[in-house]
Amino acid sequence: MSLPEHPEVTDFIAYLRLKNLSATSIATYHSALRRLFAHVGLGGSAPSQITPAQLRNYVASLQDRGRSPKTVANYVLVIKRFFGFLLAEGHIEEDPSRRLPRPKVGRRLPKALTVPQVQALFAAMSDETPADHRDQLFFKLLYACGLRIGEAVRARVADINWEDGWLRVVGKGNKERRVYLKPYLVSALSAYVEGTGLEGYLFPGQAGHVKEWHMRRRLKRYVRKARLPTHITPHTLRHSMAVHYLIGGAPITFVQGALGHESLASTGIYTQLVDQMAKEITLNTRTALDGDVEAGRPLKEARGLYEPEFEGWDRFVSEVLEWSNRF
């Protein structure tokens, strides 16, 4: 089902494009508005005819169908932005979404891997075939540079500055940033490009660049092989990079720039993750004042966000620092 050909809708979509929203974000707006118009039976009527009661009924129907609070909140946000635009542009005299409540969504900490888990993941990858070798470089680039998967699949050979060792990244809203590469990664990418004779996309596919869904599926294969938690996605590697750099002492502004966050508040959530980990270290690591505790054993069984598969948080910290220096 396509969006109705109304001037209000056409103007709004044009506005989103001028705001440099990504194609994925615009598709999300399309989907939310299509569902709204279908629910209210808009037909040939103009969106400006939609009433507050219809909007409330639509949001209630989403909740009745078991949509998650986050999904409902996102749909309400689209609705509010759409009608806010119509009001600002003079298409309507009163915003019907003004009093539409947006469900509160608790902010969850991002999931990240321990350094040993990252090592186990890469150990599960081989370079027996060209596809295996590509996968190694692709996922190492995601982790080492904190890239979104969409940024990685669209990376081009020409985006790499071989002399100074950095990669030009085009992120959300077509915003560009520069991320520096570890020397080993520059060397590995150089050998990969020379060996394959690539000139266009760094990770080519049948029709342009390799597809995101294909690389997600490839990662799942390695996750199973390494016997790691099934929740791991390409974005988990991005989260892990942020956490490991912060633990290693990197300034939060460096992590903000590497991830391409406009607001420092977006990066700040990773400090909560580090704080939670610091609490676990404090509670579970033996110190000189814990004389009654058997030497070499944690104060209690470590249970928390990371569920490490090794003994001792003190060893974990030393491995994080060692690994972050290598990356």
Residues marked as catalytic? 148, 172, 235, 238, 261, 270
> How is residue 196 written in tokens?
């394959």
d(CA 12, CA 82): 7
Q: Which residues contact 247 (CB under 8 A, 6 or more apart)?
A: 274, 277, 317, 320, 321, 324
- Return the SS3 of 79: helix
Vertex 200: Cα angle to 199 and 201 (nearest 5): 125
Give CA separation, 250 vs 95, 235, 321, in Å.
46, 20, 11
Whole-angstrom distance, CA of residue 168 vs CA of residue 178 = 5
Amino acid in the structure at residue 115: V
Whole-angstrom Cα Rg for the chain: 24
Of 101, 2, 90, the closest CA to residue 48 belongs to: 90
Q: Which residues of 248-264 are buried (b: 16+ CB within 10 A; e: fewer)?
A: beeebeebbebbbbeee
Distance CA 239, CA 115 (A): 12
For the chain, the first-to-last Cα distance in angstroms comes to 47
CA angle 179, 183, 187 (to 5 degrees): 105
